[in-house]
Chain A
Amino acid sequence: MTAAPVSAHDGDPATVRPRRWYQSRILRRLRRNKAAVFSIVVLILIGLIAVLGEWIAPQDPNKVELTSRLMGPSGAHLLGTDELGRDVLSRLLVATRVDLLASAQAVGLALLVGVPLGIVAGYAGGVTDAIVSRVIDALMTLPPLILAVVVVAILGPGLRNAMLAISVVIIPSFYRIVRASTQGARSELYIESARASGCTSWRILWRHILPAVAPPLLVQASFSASVVIVAEASLSFLGLGARAPQATWGLMLNDASSNLTTASYLIYPPTVMVALTILGFSLLGDGLRDAMGRQTTDGGR
Chain B
Amino acid sequence: MSEPTLSVRGLTKTYGARPTLLRRDPHRLTAVDEVGFEIAPGQTLGLVGESGAGKSTVGRLVLRLIEPDAGTIDLLGTDLAALPRGDLRRMRARATMIFQDPYTSLNPRMLIKDAVAEPLIMHTDDSRRVRHAKALDMVRRVGLTAAHMERYPYEMSGGQLQRVAIARALITDPAFIVCDEPVAALDVSTQAQVINLLNDLQQERGISYLFISHDLRLVRLIADEVAVMRRGRLLEKGPAVRLFDAPEHAYTRELLAAIPGRTPRARRFTGGRSEPVGHER
B34 at the interface (CB under 8 A from A): no
Q: Are A193 and B97 in contact (CB under 8 A)?
A: yes
Tally of A-B Cβ pairs under 8 angstroms: 118
B128 at the interface (CB under 8 A from A): no
B184 at the interface (CB under 8 A from A): no
Question: For the complex, would chain A's binding face be called helix, strand, loop or mixed by DSSP majority?
Answer: loop
Q: Are A6 and B107 in contact (CB under 8 A)?
A: no
Give the distance in Å from the alpha carbon of A198 to the alpha carbon of B107 in the complex.
Answer: 15
CB proximity of A195 to chain B, nearest CB, Å: 6
A208 at the interface (CB under 8 A from B): yes
A245 at the interface (CB under 8 A from B): no
Give the distance in Å from the alpha carbon of A296 to the alpha carbon of B122 in the complex.
Answer: 25
Give the distance in Å from the alpha carbon of A207 to the alpha carbon of B103 in the complex.
Answer: 18
B150 at the interface (CB under 8 A from A): yes
Give the distance in Å from the alpha carbon of A211 to the alpha carbon of B115 in the complex.
Answer: 14
Residues of chain B with a CB closer than 8 A to A13's CB: 136, 146, 149
List residues of B (120-139) whose CB comes within 8 Å of A's CBs.
121-123, 136
Give the distance in Å from the alpha carbon of A11 to the alpha carbon of B145 in the complex.
Answer: 6
Contacts A189-B104, A212-B109, A295-B154; A10 near B96 (Cβ below 8 A): no
Residues of chain A with a CB closer than 8 A to B149's CB: 13, 16
Q: Are A197 and B111 in contact (CB under 8 A)?
A: no
Binds A, one of B24-32, B35-43, B85-93, B266-274: B85-93
By the criterion of a CB under 8 Å from any partner CB, how many residues of chain B are at the interface?
Answer: 49
Binds A, one of B192-200, B212-220, B225-233: B192-200
Give the distance in Å from the alpha carbon of A196 to the alpha carbon of B165 in the complex.
Answer: 12
CB proximity of B38 to chain A, nearest CB, Å: 22
Give the distance in Å from the alpha carbon of A296 to the alpha carbon of B155 in the complex.
Answer: 11
Name which residue of chain B comes closest to A190, CB basis: B107
Q: Are B96 and A188 in contact (CB under 8 A)?
A: no
Q: Which of A3, A12, A197 is close to B118, meaning CB atoms less than 8 Å apart?
A: A197
A74 at the interface (CB under 8 A from B): no
Q: Which of A4, A189, A190, A208 is close to B193, meaning CB atoms less than 8 Å apart?
A: A4
Contacts A2-B142, A295-B108; A18 near B150 (Cβ below 8 A): yes
Contacts A2-B200, A17-B150; A197 near B109 (Cβ below 8 A): no
Give the distance in Å from the alpha carbon of A16 to the alpha carbon of B196 in the complex.
Answer: 29
Give the distance in Å from the alpha carbon of A123 to the alpha carbon of B119 in the complex.
Answer: 21
List residues of A (281-298) whose CB comes within 8 Å of B's CBs.
295-297
**Chain A residues packing against B (C-beta within 8 Å):** 1-4, 6-7, 9-13, 16-19, 188-190, 192-200, 203, 207-208, 211-212, 295-297, 299-300
Q: A18-B150, A299-B154 are in contact. List 7 more A-B contacts (CB 8 A).
A: A6-B148, A190-B104, A190-B106, A193-B105, A193-B168, A197-B119, A200-B89
**Chain B residues packing against A (C-beta within 8 Å):** 63, 65, 89-93, 96-97, 99, 101, 103-111, 118-119, 121-123, 136, 142-150, 152, 154-155, 159-160, 163, 165, 168-169, 172, 193, 196-197, 200
